[in-house]
Structure formats: structure tokens, C-alpha cells
Amino acid sequence: MNYHYLIITIVAEVIATSALKATDEFTRFIPSLIVVVGYAIAFYFFTLTLRTFPVGVAYALWAGLGIVLVALVTAIFYRQMPDWPAIAGISLIICGVVVIQLFSKTASH
């Protein structure tokens, strides 16, 4: 499987989502532009991802890894530290992504 498009999708979405707070409700131009362009790139590359990945698996990987990375980015840049229940939930998401990659026959389509 080709993971390059999925990686670009995830990175673009993480950048866009992380910039949402900086838009100040879309009143600041540059952060707003980053959000719009980031999501456009993410959706475009997600369509390319779907050439080789089943939709459900691709979306699960995108959403799961996106959640984990956005949590890390916002902890670093916005000092929004997750509490222990959030860390436990994020750990379960990581476990889910690992299970899909290691054990799902659908993931090897």
C-alpha cells in the first residue's frame, strides 16, 4: 500500500486543525488561510489515498492518527495538556490503529 498520500493527508489536517484556534473565529487572515488551504490539501490527498486504501480503514487511520497528533501539537503550542482520562483515551486510539495495521485483512487490500 502507498502510505505517502495518507501521510500528507494527516499532516495537512493536523496543521489546519491546529491553526483553527489562531484564526480567532476566522477574524485573522493568515491563520484562516492556513486552515482553508490545509483542509483543501488534506481532502485532495485523501481522495488519492482512496485509490489503494478501503475508505473505512483510510478514514480510521486518518482520524486516529490526526487526533493523537493534534493533541500533541496543541499541548506543545497552546499548552493544552490532556488529563489522565484523555491520555488513556488517546492510548486506546493508538492501540486501535495498531490493531488495524497488524491484524486487519481489510487494511491489506
H or E segment and range at residue 45: helix 29-49
> What does the block give as the cell for 96?
486501535
pLDDT digits (tens, 9 = 90+) for 29-58: 999 999 999 999 999 999 999 999 889 889
pLDDT digits (tens, 9 = 90+) for 63-77: 999 999 999 999 999
Q: Which residues of 36-51 are buried (b: 16+ CB within 10 A; e: fewer)?
A: eebbebbeebbeebee
Listed in sequence order, the residues at least 6 apart from 108 whose beta carbon sits closer than 8 Å to its beta carbon are: 1
Q: Which amino acid is at 61?
A: L
pTM (2 decimals)?
A: 0.87
How many CB atoms neighbour CB 102 within 10 A?
Answer: 8
